[in-house]
Amino acid sequence: MKKVAVILSGCGVYDGSEIHEAVLTLLAIEQQGASYRCFAPNIEQHHVINHLTGEVSETESRNVLVESARIARGDVEDLAELRVDDYDVLIVPGGFGAAKNLCNFAIDADNYTINEQVLAAAQAFAKAEKPAGYMCIAPALLPLIYPQGIQGTIGTDTGTANLIAAKGLVHNDCQVADIVVDNAHKVVTTPAYMLATSMSEAAAGINKLVKSVLALS
């Protein structure tokens, strides 16, 4: 049975992992006959968003690992414990947490950097030539992990794509139900909720991504 490491970035589209994307990913992994383990960095979130009002909480702070445990039903490990030799594939769902907690693309798109633990884990898979899947805004991480010229997609948003391309991503426009495969680096990307207007739309691309990235392993 192939084993997948999934990196989460909290719980909630506006300040953590996109919950639908994360759950659809875990479901797709199981449906493909593989197993998964969730990981998250043990760090404070960039900020906390009230998902009912969309407002930033001025008094609340939350931990990315603790919040990720909500999605993983408590079964999540500190990212520092991730060992690449134990897994065949890496998958990173999106949500603003990927752009606020795993890196700071949402805060400084012109000069963004990636969390050191996330970088170490993702580069370990890249150096081991193990496949990886990134969805939604998570492909913003790719040019900080892989060499210049890595192929990927965040959908069809030219402005966002150009900001990531400035770091070295070769962006491919892609519709919600499709994927972009960089065979040279064994990286698969899909737009998910960068374009999806429903869970069914998001699932179409996510299912393809999971199937494709497992096939590369």
Domain CATH for 11: 3.40.50.880
Distances in Å between the Cα of 93 and the Cα atoms of 55, 127, 162 are 23, 21, 21
pLDDT by position in tens, the chain (length 217): 999 999 999 999 999 999 999 999 999 999 999 999 999 999 999 898 989 898 988 888 999 999 999 999 999 999 999 999 999 999 999 999 999 999 999 999 999 999 999 999 999 999 999 999 999 999 999 999 999 999 999 999 999 999 999 999 999 999 999 999 999 999 999 999 999 999 999 999 999 999 999 999 9
Bin 214: left if φ > 0, else alpha if -120 < ψ < 50, else beta. alpha
Domain that holds residue 17: 3-215
Helices (DSSP H) in 128-198: which residue ranges?
A: 142-145, 158-165
Q: Are 49 and 18 in contact (CB under 8 A)?
A: no
Q: What would the two tokens of residue 79 be? A: 């990212």
Q: How far apart are CA 121 and CA 35, in angstroms?
A: 19
Q: Which of the residues 11, 38, 103, 136 is marked catalytic? A: 136
Structural domain count of the chain:
1
Predicted pLDDT of residue 27: 98
- Specify whether 38 is catalytic: no
- CA pair distance 136, 98, nearest whole angstrom: 9
